[in-house]
A and B are shown apart, each in its own frame.
Chain A
Amino acid sequence: MTELTHTVHSPAEISDATAKLRQSVSALELSPDEVMAIFDSWAKSLDARELDDLPGIPFLRMWLRRGTLEPIIARELGSNALHGGWTEYGRAKCKAFPLGVVGHWPAGNVEIQPILSMTCGLLGGNAALVRIPSALVDMTRLLMEKLVESDPGERLTRRIFMAAFDHRRKDLQEAMARVVDGAMIWGGEEAVLQIRALPFPHWTKIAVFGPRMSVAAMDAGAWSNPEEQKAWCLRMARDVWQFDQQACSSPQVLFLEKRQGQSTDQFLACLQRAFETENRAHPRSTIPAALTSEICQARASWLLNDPTHRAVFPPGPDWTLLVGEGSDIPQPTQGKTLTVLEVDDLLEAVSKFDGNMQTLGLGMANAEKELELALLAGKKGVDRIVKLGRMHVFVPPWDGVDLIRPMVRIVRHVSSAD
């Protein structure tokens, strides 16, 4: 079986691998349709029992399906792009061409991110040079083995090189940067700044998906409706659980719009049950001691510093609900620590957002208010406004930009006969 994951020791290994990748791209044009056919088969192979416990697999299966990707290709690259055709725009025709070799620097907090990032570049017809974060090497290797099985002719896999090396190896990071025509960079501030400072050629197109945070909000009509309360709470819990609340799309705060004369106690009890249910279904198997310390610290400082604050949490660090009032967003703790804040008006909370906010997850009974909130959120820098329970669904635009288009060249042809 072809091994796509390589432990890299020297810059020469990276330049040799890139030369082969470049050759594979120029030797064979792969249309998005052909790539999707392989992805579709890969998605089916991911429905295997041995992969059940790997985080993010349902998301990845959904992402790789033709039904998900086709409309994205059409929207980003043009209606005829599916089969590599030209799309007419008035008297001009446009067609997407690959950049060449795209380097991917995924973050270590989202387990399937190396693969998600890679697929974006491959759909544009590019080769992929992916640096795998050390903690994700084993999992990525398992998933890539399934891709190898789904691509017996190696039409796609011969244009993939997954590089495993310590992130502190500056020489290898630089070697990667020097050979790529496009770069997709994901992660926290420090990581993003370090990677952007690498010696990329002047023509390299760079797409950065940097640090952001997300919040959720519900109006009184939604949280107080006894028939829908349980479903909303389960959606909220799922959004918190995914990626251990470390993704940019993870909700850190839930704003609840107050309703005169109605307590949120019943809703909070329901939310507690939802967290307990999700924890039973998806318990942690490990946790860094530092995160446990942070969770204990967050609980203590929340309750000690303001006697009006409330909190609900189990004896262990599994999850935490910190309850209070106000529209100021506290520093995120992560690790399934959700701050629930009651506010008089959701617009007041959204008006305090700055450009850090990526996703606003909503549970709204009032459609007009939702539109008003969405407009204000967009103005305040929010890039995604989605229903609660769908905060992590990976569909472009992401961080306000497309996912495939940034890694292609759109070539315009105006016929000389006209």
Chain B
Amino acid sequence: MQPFEDKIERLLSVPPYAQPPEERHACLLEVLKEELDYACQRHTGYKNYIQQWPRDYRSATRVADLPFLPVRMLKANPPLSFVHQDEVKRTLTSSATTSQTPSRVVLDSPTARRMTKGIVSIVRDFIGPARRPYLVVDTPGFQGSGELGARGAAIQGLQPFASETTHCLTAGAQGELILDRDRLKQFAQDRQDTEVLVYGFTYILWNHLVQPLAAAGICLNLPKARILHSGGWKRLQDQAVEKAVFNEQLARLFGCSPDHIVDFYGMVESVGVIYPDCSAGNKHGPVFGDVIVRNPLTLEPVAAGEHGIVQVCSVLPTSFPGHLLLTEDMAQVLTYDGCPCGRRGISFRFAGRVPKAELRGCGNIENRRSATS
């Protein structure tokens, strides 16, 4: 057992947003340094990268000074791994919306276990600890072992809050999603006075649930429903769906209050950490992780109010280099502490993807010319 494993367990056992930032950073720094030591023992290429980082991580006094890895490195195939193949319990793959190559992250048993605990810790803070009927607005096809995509990972991540699970979509012959109205109706009729949990990808909820049912004027009468969704808004851009309209129509369909709807951001590369919107519309990092928003000009953390490139930090993964990841998302930091919702630490909002990088100008070579000889 590695010395950091106890410390991670302790961080997973405390309320995720209650620690003052200084205390949190000191804990994170200590564990992340130990994890970097461990990672260097497990992967020679990663060790080479860490050793040539301009600041020695062992003497770092800020999490921001630790060596981070661009998230695109996790698109490697075979995946970057700190464990032997026979220790890999599951491989998660990203949805690869911005390129053809998905990220692949390998989970061993300890990392998989922590992933579940991390999500439970965060979600519990938003919807409470109770198990309840779980309506999955997706097909049942995402269960099982082996490779698991982003949708499957999110669905499974919420399973600890389920007393029973119902999937209300089925896959057609061409793989298209079909709403099973009878099953949905039955689920709603049987649980009208019960707290229920609903989850679906944002665009799936809109295209395959809200649109067909709202057009028919249907209300499911589930006033105690708590609805979580994730996956981003990119696929709804063409339809220009505003978040307020989405929330209003979804709430009307379920007959619940719009503040029962929580949009969260998650990436398979940052296992066990998701970023739900708080009541003030902001996102927060949990005690076992953090977010650093870096100025593209200096790569230093930005001041409150400024935009930059998002780095996610998490102590949870130890089977692959996912603890310090520079993402390809932009965000604005609102405050470094003192969000009106009461959660401690950084509050931020995502601000889209880093625009696609392209080599510029006449130094941009794409196709080969033929030489004279």
Q: Which A residues are closer than 8 A to B by beta carbons?
A: 107-110, 186-189, 209-214, 243, 245-248, 250, 252, 284-294, 296-297, 299-301, 303-307, 309-317, 332, 334, 353-356, 379-381
Q: Is the CB of B300 within 8 A of A316?
A: yes
Q: How far is the CA of A315 from the CA of B143 in the complex (A)?
A: 43
Q: Which of B297, B360, B362, B369 has the most CB of A within 10 A?
A: B362
* B window 47-71: CB within 8 A of A: 47-49, 52, 54-55, 65, 68-70
- The A-B contact count (CB < 8 A) is 164
Q: Is the CB of B46 within 8 A of A108?
A: no
- Contacts known (A303-B45, A314-B54, A380-B372); A248 close to B355, Cβ less than 8 A: no
- Contacts known (A109-B362, A290-B356); A354 close to B45, Cβ less than 8 A: no
Interchain residue pairs A-B with the least CB separation, the first 5: A109-B361, A355-B369, A290-B357, A188-B364, A381-B371
Q: Is B280 among interface residues, defined by CB-CB distance under 8 A?
A: no
Q: Is B113 among interface residues, defined by CB-CB distance under 8 A?
A: no
* B window 313-354: CB within 8 A of A: 326, 328, 330, 354
Q: Is B127 among interface residues, defined by CB-CB distance under 8 A?
A: no
- A188 contact set on B, CB distance < 8 A: 359-362, 364, 366
- A301 contact set on B, CB distance < 8 A: 73
Q: Which of A213, A292, A380 has the most CB of B within 10 A?
A: A292
Smallest CB separation, A144 vs chain B (Å):
21
Q: Is the CB of A288 within 8 A of B296?
A: yes
Q: How far is the CA of A304 from the CA of B80 in the complex (A)?
A: 10
- B365 contact set on A, CB distance < 8 A: 189, 211-213, 332, 356
Q: Is B72 among interface residues, defined by CB-CB distance under 8 A?
A: yes
- B182 contact set on A, CB distance < 8 A: none
* B window 20-49: CB within 8 A of A: 44-49
Q: Is the CB of A247 within 8 A of B373?
A: no
Q: How far is the CA of A252 from the CA of B365 in the complex (A)?
A: 11
Q: Is B217 among interface residues, defined by CB-CB distance under 8 A?
A: no
- B308 contact set on A, CB distance < 8 A: 289
Mark interface residues in B275-302 (1 if CB within 8 Å of A CB, else 0). Answer: 0000000000000000000001111100
Smallest CB separation, A295 vs chain B (Å):
9
For B366, give the chain A residue with the smallest CB separation. A189
- Contacts known (A212-B363, A334-B360); A293 close to B372, Cβ less than 8 A: no
Q: Choose one: A299, A300, A312, A332; the contact of B363 (CB below 8 Å).
A: A332
- Contacts known (A246-B363, A354-B371); A293 close to B326, Cβ less than 8 A: yes
Q: How far is the CA of A286 from the CA of B356 in the complex (A)?
A: 17
Smallest CB separation, A14 vs chain B (Å):
25
Q: Is B358 among interface residues, defined by CB-CB distance under 8 A?
A: yes
- A303 contact set on B, CB distance < 8 A: 45, 48-49, 52
- In terms of DSSP, what is the predominant structure of the interface of chain A? loop
Q: Is the CB of B70 within 8 A of A307?
A: no
For A247, give the chain B residue with the smallest CB separation. B363
Q: Choose one: A107, A214, A284; the contact of B361 (CB below 8 Å).
A: A107
Q: Choose one: A210, A284, A288, A304; the contact of B73 (CB below 8 Å).
A: A304
Q: Is the CB of B355 within 8 A of A289?
A: yes
Q: Is the CB of B370 within 8 A of A300?
A: no
Q: Which of A189, A291, A304, A314 has the most CB of B within 10 A?
A: A304
Smallest CB separation, B135 vs chain A (Å):
38
For A289, give the chain B residue with the smallest CB separation. B296
Q: How far is the CA of A252 from the CA of B359 in the complex (A)?
A: 12
- Contacts known (A109-B360, A300-B49, A314-B54); A354 close to B369, Cβ less than 8 A: yes
Q: Is the CB of A292 within 8 A of B361?
A: no
Q: Is the CB of B362 within 8 A of A210?
A: yes
Q: Is the CB of B369 within 8 A of A291?
A: no
- A311 contact set on B, CB distance < 8 A: 52
Q: Is the CB of B72 within 8 A of A250?
A: no
Q: Is the CB of A297 within 8 A of B70?
A: yes
Smallest CB separation, B211 vs chain A (Å):
33
Smallest CB separation, B35 vs chain A (Å):
17
Q: How far is the CA of A364 from the CA of B370 in the complex (A)?
A: 27
- A313 contact set on B, CB distance < 8 A: 54
- Contacts known (A187-B362, A296-B326, A311-B52); A355 close to B309, Cβ less than 8 A: no
Q: Which B residues are closer than 8 A to A by beta carbons?
A: 44-49, 52, 54-55, 65, 68-70, 72-73, 80, 296-300, 308-309, 326, 328, 330, 354-373
Smallest CB separation, A120 vs chain B (Å):
15
Q: Is the CB of A316 within 8 A of B44?
A: no
For A299, give the chain B residue with the smallest CB separation. B49
- Contacts known (A304-B73, A309-B48); A212 close to B309, Cβ less than 8 A: no
Q: How far is the CA of A110 from the CA of B364 in the complex (A)?
A: 13
Q: Which of A247, A252, A300, A353 has the most CB of B within 10 A?
A: A300
Q: Is the CB of A287 within 8 A of B362?
A: no
Apart from A296-B299, A300-B49, A317-B296, 19 more pairs, CB < 8 Å: A108-B360, A110-B361, A188-B361, A188-B362, A189-B365, A212-B363, A246-B362, A250-B363, A285-B297, A290-B354, A293-B326, A300-B70, A301-B73, A303-B49, A304-B45, A304-B80, A317-B299, A354-B369, A354-B371
- A306 contact set on B, CB distance < 8 A: 45, 48
Q: Is the CB of B48 within 8 A of A307?
A: yes
Q: How far is the CA of A18 from the CA of B299 in the complex (A)?
A: 48
Q: Is the CB of A245 within 8 A of B363?
A: yes
- Contacts known (A211-B364, A332-B363); A381 close to B372, Cβ less than 8 A: yes
Q: Is the CB of A305 within 8 A of B296?
A: no
Q: Which of B65, B68, B355, B357 has the most CB of A within 10 A?
A: B357
Q: Is the CB of B369 within 8 A of A356?
A: yes
Q: Is the CB of A297 within 8 A of B364?
A: no
Smallest CB separation, A293 vs chain B (Å):
5
Q: Is the CB of B309 within 8 A of A292?
A: yes
Smallest CB separation, A322 vs chain B (Å):
10
Name 21 A/B residue pairs within 8 A (Cβ), A-sorted: A109-B360, A110-B362, A188-B359, A188-B361, A188-B362, A189-B364, A210-B362, A211-B364, A289-B330, A293-B72, A293-B326, A300-B70, A307-B45, A309-B48, A315-B299, A317-B298, A354-B369, A355-B372, A356-B369, A379-B373, A380-B373
- Contacts known (A293-B354, A305-B45); A286 close to B363, Cβ less than 8 A: no
- Contacts known (A306-B45, A381-B369); A247 close to B361, Cβ less than 8 A: yes
Q: Is the CB of B309 within 8 A of A289?
A: yes
- B70 contact set on A, CB distance < 8 A: 293, 296-297, 300
Q: How far is the CA of A106 from the CA of B69 in the complex (A)?
A: 37
Smallest CB separation, B223 vs chain A (Å):
43
Q: How far is the CA of A37 from the CA of B47 in the complex (A)?
A: 62
- A315 contact set on B, CB distance < 8 A: 54-55, 65, 298-300
